[in-house]
Amino acid sequence: MAFEHERETMVAQQLAARGIRDVRVLDAVRAVPRHAFVPPAVATHAYDDMPLPIGEDQTISQPYMVALMSEALGLGSGAPRVLEVGTGSGYQAAVLAAMGVRVISLERIPALALRARGVLAQLGFADRVRVIEADGSLGWPDEAPYDGILVAAAAPELPRPLLSQLGVGRALVVPIGRADRQLLVRVRRDAEGLREDYLGECRFVKLRGEHGWKEPDR
């Protein structure tokens, strides 16, 4: 299988060595071909420890960040349903799907949504991932409540509509902060209210939309 050795090395050196312990996450990242989600020009770097450009001024996240966010959701067994905000390349959704998760994924850029649908279908994930063109900062209330919400773009503050779509006892994982640097935040919703955990610094592209960044880039 193409890049099989590179994936094994990535999982061992970039994920397990940095503390990713969830076996489902490790197995999913090992199984999903990251090179299928990047442009051919950068495919040889698909398993490097870095984000990569995917066009439309967007990126595919660093493999460690994909694994960390997947693990941070704390998903149980069965077939949990997760809302993903920011489909991008479709790689994060594919990793979740490989974990047995059903994913509703929102993408505001039509070209990326179309491309992600195609790659996910080619890899056999079309039955587990639904990609919708929409303002992700508003969430997707039609399928709420969710067993987890993962935001793969940086918000200036916590997008409130997403909290109302999160199931009780579940987690929302989102980068929050300035345009150039954020903190990865996990918000758990329980019967007593909300609890926040901070999972480290990160850097994502901006979350655009009604409850995200509104001004144009300069």
Angle, to 10 degrees, between the axis of helix 23-31 and the axis of helix 91-98? 120
* Strand order from edge to edge, sheet including 102-107: 129-133, 102-107, 81-85, 146-151, 166-177, 182-190, 193-202
Bridge-based pairing state of the strands 146-151 and 166-177: parallel
Backbone angles phi, psi at 108, to 5 degrees: -85, -20
Q: How far apart are CA 218 and CA 216, in angstroms?
A: 6
Does residue 194 contact residue 188 with C-beta atoms inside 8 Å?
Answer: yes
The C-alpha angle with vertex 67 and arms to 142 and 26, in degrees rounded to 5, equals: 115
Annotated catalytic residue, options 61, 70, 89, 105: 61
Reply yes or no on whether 61 is catalytic: yes
DSSP notation for 75-134? --SS--EEEEE--TTSHHHHHHHHTT-EEEEEES-HHHHHHHHHHHHHTT-TTTEEEEES
Backbone angles phi, psi at 105, to 5 degrees: -115, 130
Residues tagged active-site: 61
